[in-house]
Chain A
Amino acid sequence: MDILHNLAIGFGAAATPLNLLFCLFGCLIGTLIGVLPGIGPIATIAMLLPVTFGLSPLGALIMLAGIYYGAQYGGSTTAILVNLPGESSSVVTCIDGYRMAQRGRAGAALAIAAVGSFFAGCVGTVLIAAFAPILATFAEQFRSPEYFSLMLFGLVAAVVLAHGSVVKAVAMIVLGLLIGLAGTDTQSGVARFTFGIPELYDGVDFVPVAMGLFGFAEIMSNLDRGGDQPTITARITSLWPNREEIRRAIPAVLRGTSIGSFLGLLPGGGAVLSSFAAYTLEKKVSRYAAEFGKGAVEGVAGPESANNAGAQTSFIPLLTLGIPSTPVMALMMGAMTIQGIAPGTAIITERPLLFWGMIASMWIGNLMLVVINLPLIGIWVTLLKVPYRVLFPSILVFCCVGAFSINNSTFLIFMMAGFALLGYVFHKLGCEGAPFLLGFVLGPLMEENLRRSMVLSFGDPSIFVQRPISLAILLLTLGLVLLIVAPQFRQTREEAFQEET
């Protein structure tokens, strides 16, 4: 049992007092921002990236990962108690979770969400431990044509899975790729789109872009809507679900976990898509279909398990292939680069302590989160009373200080203001930020792999279809493109997202 041996090493690395502290810290922050509507894991991780400079690589990754899956736990609390999604991955939990709370079953809904998430988190962690090494070994055969095809697949998948207009998602990806190419060209040394600004020679920095597009644009849109104050109406009496609720929750948790684990693997998938898909599935298969929208247990158990499972498995593409599949994973990649770790197939063999330590920490973190979220629920409810007018200036200040401390450059601050405006305009025009960010991160990687492939083949583009693995990936990509065009799929895709509006 190689895995057990490796996991033992991992627990040894993750269970040092300092790393446990980082894990707890990450989970606490994750729950906090999960509970608070108006700030998500992307902005938070971007904010804390500069802080991780001084930490050990393992400590930094443990903390940042904790923020991401911690947010999945916290998001359900707000959804159930105040009918507001604390996190975009908890949007569907509002529908039935809040109704359960109104019927006096708030405690049961919270408990089911937390325990379901814990189960899903455990499964997700086991899946990473079992499959990541296999996938990494397989990926060792990958050369630049395979990587290029894989990234193309990722971008196409991001379009298919993005909300809203397909054409706009494609445009956002292209724009992201283009801006990602800014900076000194690695081969010719030509400075592209730098306008003589020294801060741009190394490319556009990732953190101000992520903060501007996600953190600030969100604040600005919230203020447009008047930033209404959440009101807590539900009272938590007992955290124990009754037997009937447990009986109905178990199959939903299992289904949610499977669908979330699978969708988390897909680029652009992650936690948000998983929860939507799980809700749609539960509604289709449930014998209590009529109860949905009126407080069905399945409508909480399914999506809440799915979003946590998806959050866990979305680490797999990054840890095995070095390709970030969601904006949060792009930030994790940034954190690795800051620490001097090249994400990719070599992590597992060259940095086993880091890889297995991180996996072990996920399990520990999930355990911590159940404790943080259930017995301590009262603390988080109190936090919900912090008015938004106090919250958003604080978020703004932290983002500014964080962005400035990357390399003490005021230019980055002004650039961040520019991206905040851009993000706000995108928001108003119905353009998603996530595809942009993926394109932005993958731009330079794709260019490099495309160039190398072309050098290998002396300029013959058929190299991408002559190599079997690359061909297989491209065929999958083509399949996805056909899916977008197929009218039947378009309909289901719209249905899957319609709950939100």
Chain B
Amino acid sequence: MIRVKNPQDFWAGLLFLVVGCLALWFGRNYAFGTATKMGPGYLPTVLSWGLVLIGAFLSLRAFALKGPAIERSLIRPQVFILLAIVVFGLLIERVGLAPAIVVVTVVAAIASREMRWRETLAVAVGLAALCVGLFIYLLGQPLTTWTWNF
């Protein structure tokens, strides 16, 4: 029976293969040009094909050569870390720097199972004060401390 002996390589290869195909698809209208006068599509096309070939090679080789398994993944930390970044992006222009930081710190802290509410809130407020002081007052970045734009 054919089995994947190297899951890391297999999935990595598949990822490269898919990205390569996507790049070929989205870049299909960029002019290729000639060697003397390379068009905007020349190098992207060459690189995309390279990615497709390497990806296919990696995936196929994974059936033959043994390799390490993929380490286990926890759902909670990954979801909350990514969520925290997205929440920052959604909030920063709507509520301003200080409230955004407080919310983001709390969301991020939930990613760890060892999270403690009181400690997290203290860190959140401290970080908000520090960032307002550093970025707005010291560095003069064009950010607002708080606002309400919904």
Contact = CB atoms under 8 A, between A and B. Distances in A.
Contacts of B44: 178, 181, 192-193
A461 B38 CA distance: 13
Given A178-B51, A193-B26, A425-B15, A413 B72 contact: no
Contacts of A420: 81-82, 85
A393 B120 contact: yes
A390 B89 contact: no
A400 B81 CA distance: 12
The residue in A178, A447, A458 that gathers the most chain B C-beta atoms within 10 A of its C-beta is A178
A397 B101 contact: yes
Contacts of B109: 389, 393
Interface stretch (A216-224, A235-243, A252-260, A309-317): A216-224
13 contacts: A170-B54, A174-B47, A177-B47, A223-B78, A224-B71, A224-B72, A393-B104, A400-B88, A404-B143, A413-B86, A428-B73, A429-B70, A430-B12
Interface string B94-133: 0001000100110011011111100110011001000100
B39 A188 contact: yes
A483 interface: no
A413 B85 contact: yes
Interface in A161-190: 165, 167-168, 170-171, 174-175, 177-178, 181, 185, 187-188, 190
Contact of A224 (B35, B74, B143): B74
Interface stretch (A139-147, A371-379, A448-456): A448-456
A389 B111 CA distance: 9
Contact of A392 (B26, B31, B93, B108): B108
Contact of A171 (B16, B36, B127): B16
Contact of B112 (A170, A389, A400, A447): A389
A51 interface: yes
A396 B81 contact: yes
Nearest to A177: B47
B112 A388 contact: yes
Contacts of A426: 12
B123 A394 contact: yes
B85 A400 contact: yes
A390 B109 CA distance: 8
* A interface majority secondary structure: helix
A127 interface: no
Contacts of B58: 167-168, 171
A227 interface: yes
A390 B119 contact: yes
Given A397-B101, A410-B93, A447 B81 contact: no
A454 B35 contact: yes
A430 B68 contact: yes
A487 interface: no
Contacts of A193: 23, 26-27, 44
B30 interface: yes
Nearest to B70: A428
Interface string A38-73: 000000000000110110000000000000000000
